[in-house]
Structure 1
């Protein structure tokens, strides 16, 4: 299994943690200031890659749209765990407190939901939630916890190949 990226979204739909295993590491940043005269009413042009904020919006938007579609077609008892394209597979896990864990892997990956549950229960709860210095809401700065970051890498490394 190849892991491309890992995301955590809070109950306000904000990306609070991001780890990219495919591309060079980028820190989670707030939106850069945009000159409104240059970018009026349309997307920026050029060949530059999307920012982390743009990636987060696309990923959460995809998850949100698919969850709503499944709920409307199959009813509220139906759940969404993953979807697959020709290039990647997106795995989704939502906690009772509306934290959303998303992992993007290669198309052959199976059984990622228990891994996401273990990341939540074993790492996120232990290193972030139980940390008395951690803020209750992570919307403004994201999760900046070195123990969680190192624990996540140690946990995922035996399970995956990072290209």
Structure 2
């Protein structure tokens, strides 16, 4: 059993965050303008170096963060070399994966379309109080957690995995509230940028890698 990927959609049906782990075939980079900046460096349409010519951080801008202990805004002087924090130390990037042949922006729309269609079908067949939480095919299982504010957390896993809805809720009440909702530097529902916060991405990665279903 294993976990493939995580998508987060805002109330405007836009993918604002993407993270993958055990995908054997990664989607192609999105077309220019197809996704918001900061969703994921893996599927960004272009990779531009920073002002000093260095590759961008795999977790986005370090300026968009809050200290989890003090709540103080962390500002980074772009002209001063910075030593990576132990919190943000990450394993080396995985080897290059073959592509699915589908741009990420199209894949994200398909995933959201499946969620929306199944949720509407369930409400029509079983009543408005019934909730869509997951469904399974022969190759994957989709898990959904929706917040009262309209954010949808969608995870794809191995078809034999038990329900991971509680993990999605844990991501929401933990890292998402801590580093995104309570972060004054992130404009919620701005329609201009994804969840570009390296502390949030590092926390999600650490949480998923610590699960028993993550080999």
TM-score (norm 1): 0.83
Query: In structure 2, how many angstroms separate the alpha carbons of the residues matched to 1:137 and 1:27?
Result: 23
Any runs of at least 4 consecutive aligned residues in structure 1 with deviations exceeding 6 A, and if so which?
25-29
Structure that is richer in helix per residue: 1
Q: What's the counterpart of residue 37 of structure 1? A: none
The residue number in structure 1 matching 2:10 is: 10
- Number of the residue aligned with 1:126: 178
For 2:73, the equivalent position in structure 1 comes to none
Q: Distance in 2 between matches of 1:121 and 1:111?
A: 18
1:144 CA displacement? 0.6
CA contact (8 A) 1:16 1:138 kept: no
- SS of 2:116's equivalent in the other structure is helix
Contact 1:5–1:20 under 8 Å retained in 2: yes
What is aligned with 1:31? Answer: 34
Question: Structure 1 residues 8, 68: closer, same or farther in 2, change over 3 A?
Answer: same
Measured against aligned partners, the alpha-carbon deviations of 1:11-58 in whole angstroms (never above 9, x if no partner) come to 0000000112215597776329xxxxxxxxxxxxxx961111111100
Of 134-143 and 57-66, deviating more is 134-143
Aligned residues: 148
> Cα offset for 1:106?
0.2
The change in CA–CA distance for 1:16 and 1:138 in structure 2 (over 3 A counts) is farther
1:127–1:147: 8 Å Cα contact kept in structure 2? yes
| 2:138 partner SS | coil
Deviation of 1:141 (Å): 1.5
